[in-house]
């Protein structure tokens, strides 16, 4: 009788022990699953963030508003649009008049390569207003940034009527960004889309026919 009771007691103890072990395993598995899930979530966060455009990236292609009121005649300023320098040149009447006098020196005097400027800038000044040029300051040869040589003659020689000279490989452009014959650059400098918001305010990156 006592042996039978002892066997039942031992079996009960083993059952309780097994239940305890099962309970501990269950807790361990739940905890491990939770940690694993958190790890996966943590790993996913950097990927999701990297797929979200930064404010800087979104702004890179945004139109740029520019106050041009302080550019004196014969001078220029540089702004940035889509990570590129954009020149805004306030040409004097003499500079503007010169643009029609040296077509024989230019590779594309009439801006026939239409990809280089908006349709409303396909004119001798390559601009909406003849005196104000808006040009992307990147050479169309290998992407250097030309130097401004706005004044005639000087260190550019007696035949120089003003424009831009690329220090990398010697490409030369007139004051409308048109490439001179003999330059390594194959086409004119780019005129970006732009419009006037007011007499002294430009919006670069939006065509004059479009709404901002």
Catalytic residue numbers, as ranges: 169
Smallest CA-to-CA distance from 69 within 1, 132, 135 is with 132
Contact indicator for 126, 191 with CB cutoff of 8 Å: yes
Report H helices in 83-124. Answer: 93-98
Find tokens 């992307």 and name the residue. Answer: 136
Question: What is the separation of C-alpha 158 from the centre of its chain, rounded to a whole number of angstroms?
Answer: 38
Other beta carbons within 10 angstroms of residue 50's beta carbon come to 8
């Amino acid at each position: 009788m006592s042996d039978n009771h002892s066997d039942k007691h031992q079996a009960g103890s083993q059952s309780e022990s097994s239940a305890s072990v099962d309970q501990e395993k269950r807790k361990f598995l739940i905890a491990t699953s939770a940690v694993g899930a958190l790890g996966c979530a943590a790993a996913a966060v950097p990927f999701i963030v990297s797929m979200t455009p930064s404010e800087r990236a979104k702004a890179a292609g945004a139109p740029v508003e520019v106050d041009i009121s302080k550019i004196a005649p014969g001078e220029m300023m540089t702004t940035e649009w889509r990570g590129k320098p954009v020149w805004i040149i306030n040409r004097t009447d003499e500079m503007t008049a010169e643009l029609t006098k040296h077509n024989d020196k230019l590779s594309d005097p009439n801006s026939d390569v239409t990809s280089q400027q908006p349709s409303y800038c396909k004119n001798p000044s390559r601009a909406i207003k003849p005196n104000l040029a808006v040009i992307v300051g990147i050479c169309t040869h290998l992407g250097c940034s030309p130097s401004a040589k706005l004044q005639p003659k000087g260190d550019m020689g007696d035949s120089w009527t003003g424009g831009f000279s690329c220090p990398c490989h010697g490409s030369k452009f007139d004051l409308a960004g048109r490439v001179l014959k003999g330059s390594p650059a194959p086409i004119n400098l780019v005129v970006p889309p732009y419009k006037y918001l007011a007499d002294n305010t430009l919006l670069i990156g939006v065509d004059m026919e479009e709404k901002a």
